[in-house]
Copies of this chain bind each other. A is one copy, B any other.
Amino acid sequence: MPKKIVIIGGVACGPKAASRARRRDPDAEITIIERGQAVSYAGCGLPYFISGVVPQVDDLMKTGYGVLRDAAYFDRVKKIRILARHEAVAIDRAARTVTVRNLADNTDLAVPYDLLVLATGSAPVRPPFPGIDLKNVVTLRRPDEAGALRGFIDAGIERVALIGAGRVGLEVAEAMSNQGVETVIIDVANQVLPGSLDPDMARLVEQSLRAEKVSLFLGEKVTGFVGEGGVVTKVLTDQREFAVGAVLVGVGVRPEIALAKAAGIEIGVTGAIRVDEYFRTSDPNIFAGGDCSESRSIVTGRPAYIPLGSTANRQGRTIGDNLTGHPVAFPGVVGTGIMRTLGTNIASTGITETQARALGLDVITCLSPSGDRSHFYPGGKNIVIKLVAEKTGRLLGAQIVGPGDVARRIDTVAATLTLRGTIDDLGDMDLAYAPPFGSAIEAVSHAANILRNKRDGLASAVSPAEFFALLKTGATDFFVLDVRTAGELVKSGQVEDPRMINIPIEELRGRVGELPAGKRPLIVCGVGQRAYEAQRFLQTAGFADAAFVEGGWNILARFK
């Protein structure tokens, strides 16, 4: 008897598991049950359909050679049956059947299985704001919702409010803003992307969004929506109101676990379905993967809920193996993500400083601006790298922000995290160098070297936030030593402050006598390198407590 494999969910993990299972087992009867009409679509591409970069929403459902991946395609090419517009409403684990409702005519059928896969995905959170059900208040998950947002642009709305400064909000901000729609982002958190960026790195994103005329209202609570004729016209917050033509609510997703829960499948500590490394749920005949299930973090060793299309695809492949008698363990995730918003690339992997400290880890970090080409090679773009590590040297995570090439650097760190590497591994790593591609000591290696210098007691730094906080105190037990050239000072200005002294590093050894004895030097330069060099010198010249300001004016100028 051929094995009956039933998969609930037809977007990412489900079709991947089904396709892999088919390549492993030519005889299995494979059925995918999908509530929606569209199957196997690239949900991550929806913001680019909204922006018009991807002309047709169907483009997100096509193969690389242009054929639509619909139910007929799966049947013809892969002998996989897809029941689209069918919803799984109950699982009878004892009888091993799924009750499936045909949404066209509301009839139910019982679909028997030998092995079942829950790939039910996640759903956008819809907070119970007054007015949430008004017209033109949407979430973004499905192609039809992307169509609605595209429609707002085509209809010429003037202003959109994006509730939530997470990934969806920032990607749609780019789409809307590029189409000339005034974009207002509101978030109750004090920063953008709190799950993946620390506040210092978030600040860089916020500054670049504001430079692109996106209005950001952080630390501000939405209290409701007001409409006219059933259509939203205003967003109310605890501080003000906005006249709007549409609202996108993008405050996160939650795993679709109702079906699993009702069937008595175990839910994990993250609120998603718990699975083992073979993606087996608490029922050995039922697997789960994708956004409805939790992952294990390779970095923390703990369960993590990180719903991403890339993870869902990777998991689907392994589930396909395990469904067909080829046990393959999945190593877990490190938590890598990347996105772009209005010319700023944002990537992160591992855990943030905030998350590491919450775990009680003894943490060191660095903040390192770099070009993404050799400094003498024209056309290079800035990136800022923050690395997070334990004092032992174990790498914990990275965040990289800027107009430059962040993908290369984040993947290098992700690979290092996956294989449990250290800052020493990353610092000495034999990465690719030629002037059009980077520096002789690659940007992530340079950042790792800063951490090694901190760990080894060579580098002593204050963060940009600490620097400004110290300036504000009015204390006079320190002075600020700017070691840039006169030309650089003119170009990018400096803080007007009586505690500020400018001596270019080229003159410092000769003019060290001019420095006020007994006071602590806080040294600044362009990106931190010269200031570190000066710190090493001053510590041996009577200023043992000298420290450099991390990231230099490259960061400070954006923090002001």
> Which of B378, B433, B507, B525 interacts with A310 by CB under 8 Å?
B433
* CA distance in complex: A508, B67 (Å): 15
Q: For residue A312, which residue of chain B has the nearest CB?
A: B440
Indicate whether A124 reaches chain B with its CB closer than 8 angstroms.
no
Q: Mark A439-466, 1 if CB is under 8 A from B, else 0.
A: 0111001000100000010100000000
Indicate whether A126 reaches chain B with its CB closer than 8 angstroms.
no
B430 & A335 in contact (Cβ 8 Å cutoff): yes
Indicate whether A81 reaches chain B with its CB closer than 8 angstroms.
no
Residue picked from A63, A318, A334, A411, most chain B C-beta under 10 Å: A411
* CA distance in complex: A321, B448 (Å): 16
Indicate whether A377 reaches chain B with its CB closer than 8 angstroms.
yes
Within 8 A of B (CB), among A312-371: 312-314, 317-318, 326, 330-331, 333-340, 347, 349, 371
B419 & A458 in contact (Cβ 8 Å cutoff): no
B309 & A440 in contact (Cβ 8 Å cutoff): yes
A430 & B414 in contact (Cβ 8 Å cutoff): yes
B331 & A67 in contact (Cβ 8 Å cutoff): no
Which residues of chain B are within 8 angstroms of A318 by Cβ–Cβ distance? 428
A430 & B334 in contact (Cβ 8 Å cutoff): yes
Interface size on A, residues (CB 8 A): 107
* CA distance in complex: A156, B343 (Å): 41
B62 & A314 in contact (Cβ 8 Å cutoff): no
A349 & B507 in contact (Cβ 8 Å cutoff): no
Which residues of chain B are within 8 angstroms of A50 by Cβ–Cβ distance? none
Indicate whether A23 reaches chain B with its CB closer than 8 angstroms.
yes
B440 & A313 in contact (Cβ 8 Å cutoff): yes
B414 & A432 in contact (Cβ 8 Å cutoff): yes
Q: Mark A47-76, 1 if CB is under 8 A from B, else 0.
A: 010000110000110111111000001001
B414 & A416 in contact (Cβ 8 Å cutoff): no
Q: For residue A328, which residue of chain B has the nearest CB?
A: B424
A488 & B458 in contact (Cβ 8 Å cutoff): no
Which of A31-39, A243-251, A532-540 makes up part of the contact surface?
Answer: A532-540
Residue picked from A337, A425, A432, A484, most chain B C-beta under 10 Å: A432
* CA distance in complex: A414, B426 (Å): 11
Which residues of chain B are within 8 angstroms of A115 by Cβ–Cβ distance? none
A26 & B411 in contact (Cβ 8 Å cutoff): no
> Which of B59, B433, B488 interacts with A65 by CB under 8 Å?
B488
Which residues of chain B are within 8 angstroms of A27 by Cβ–Cβ distance? 540
Which residues of chain B are within 8 angstroms of A26 by Cβ–Cβ distance? 536-537, 540
Residue picked from A63, A313, A418, most chain B C-beta under 10 Å: A418
Q: A44-B440, A436-B340, A526-B64 are in contact. Are A311 and B430 (CB under 8 A)?
A: yes
B509 & A377 in contact (Cβ 8 Å cutoff): no
Q: For residue A459, which residue of chain B has the nearest CB?
A: B23
A377 & B48 in contact (Cβ 8 Å cutoff): yes
Indicate whether A79 reaches chain B with its CB closer than 8 angstroms.
yes
Q: Mark A244-283, 1 if CB is under 8 A from B, else 0.
A: 0000000000000000000000000000000000000000
Shortest A477–chain B CB gap in Å is 24
B415 & A314 in contact (Cβ 8 Å cutoff): no
* CA distance in complex: A59, B509 (Å): 25
> Which of B63, B435, B436, B442 interacts with A411 by CB under 8 Å?
B442
Shortest A65–chain B CB gap in Å is 6
B432 & A337 in contact (Cβ 8 Å cutoff): yes
Which of A88-96, A384-392, A402-410, A514-522 makes up part of the contact surface?
Answer: A402-410
Q: For residue A529, which residue of chain B has the nearest CB?
A: B64
* CA distance in complex: A336, B76 (Å): 44
Q: For residue A410, which residue of chain B has the nearest CB?
A: B432
A374 & B506 in contact (Cβ 8 Å cutoff): no
Which residues of chain B are within 8 angstroms of A377 by Cβ–Cβ distance? 45, 48, 53-54
B435 & A418 in contact (Cβ 8 Å cutoff): no
Q: A313-B441, A377-B54, A533-B23 are in contact. Are A340 and B434 (CB under 8 A)?
A: yes
Indicate whether A285 reaches chain B with its CB closer than 8 angstroms.
no
Q: For residue A309, which residue of chain B has the nearest CB?
A: B440
* CA distance in complex: A318, B335 (Å): 32
Shortest A300–chain B CB gap in Å is 13
Q: For residue A75, which residue of chain B has the nearest CB?
A: B509
A336 & B12 in contact (Cβ 8 Å cutoff): no
* CA distance in complex: A331, B431 (Å): 13
A411 & B431 in contact (Cβ 8 Å cutoff): yes
A44 & B334 in contact (Cβ 8 Å cutoff): no
Q: Mark A518-554, 1 if CB is under 8 A from B, else 0.
A: 0000000111011001001100100000000000000
Shortest A62–chain B CB gap in Å is 7
* CA distance in complex: A245, B503 (Å): 51
Jot down 28 A-B pairs with beta carbons below 8 A, ordered by A: A12-B440, A22-B536, A23-B533, A24-B458, A26-B540, A27-B540, A44-B434, A44-B440, A45-B435, A48-B377, A54-B435, A64-B371, A64-B526, A65-B485, A67-B506, A73-B506, A76-B509, A77-B506, A309-B440, A310-B432, A314-B428, A336-B430, A336-B432, A338-B433, A338-B437, A349-B432, A411-B412, A411-B442
Known A-B contacts: A309-B433, A405-B405. Give 4 more (CB < 8 A): A54-B377, A310-B430, A310-B441, A337-B433
